[in-house]
Structure 1
């Protein structure tokens, strides 16, 4: 799936709005959070600076440069998106989420490990940003993007996570997978089995993390089914 190729900037903006509201309906964001989609090597679109569940249908999204000053009215943490896009040509979308299981696990300075199928999509590692401060300057955003490396997600201690994907659909799906992996990880810890419960080896996780068979498409359809701008 590549929304931009399918319909240009208007389609990309629609996908951002749908993603924003869908992340909210799934409980992965609340009053805080943001999502963006890459337009080209130099620019991306980010959702309006309002609670994501309240993004109106048809409202414009803001075009942001990958490098340079943020446009007026754009949230300061969108520098995170800039830093990721600048480092990762493979990233087509970025989700900044505040999901409850990820948040609880992060307070323990823990990240999900590949203990079930969905967790395999985040292997070989979910990075940890061990700092509770908000990231509102370029130096901190760059440091977080460096820590993310070539991974799909970085958990921020007491502050949610950043999830990336090759498309906005995959970034949203991976955000849901991260939350489910955090749920499983917390249950393993509650059972006192954090050190004894099996972790899926990297090679097995890579074989399990397939996208064929409509994996992303079906989850995207599930998450966006109630959206006013989703396709019939």
Structure 2
């Protein structure tokens, strides 16, 4: 490879090179892993793109090493399972006159799946306690809960643990959602059991408003803060 030429446009994920690719007609940037067997791999850029009679592409590929890009080493599908068309341009420039340059994936599914290539994070010392408090709140009080300020590397495990605890105690389906760094837990079956409490609180608020009085301040007992339970 010449010193002024570049190889495949890759990023390293836990020691593994992942090729940045795009699909035909797609706009997202995907990740493609090396093929499990060299014989089953495909090229980052097909050899005919370098043909001298294809001036629109051959000139644009002058910044790349032909042998490196045409080595059949990549999986035929992206991490998210799509058949990809071509490597996205990188340090050597765009691939073709109408190509684009990118240095990171944008496909949400690919970004989710790369978590499998990283070691599982160590659970924080407070995770079990916060999960138990959240499960108690859902089962015994309202059928729902919110957990704030949970570190990103603890969110998935906390959600799994809460769901497991509630299912063990009630056998009811339970859902968790992550919205703007807040984990929401809901169990519709239990919430329906506590519907009378919600109606009573709503009636108290309406009664105060109709009487010209300030509405009662509800106790936000469904809100849990991760930071409150720091036991380190």
Measured against the shorter chain, the TM-score band is: under 0.3
Q: TM-score, normalised by structure 2?
A: 0.27
CA radius of gyration, larger in: 2
Higher relative contact order (CA 8 A, sep 6+): 1
Q: TM-score, normalised by structure 1?
A: 0.27
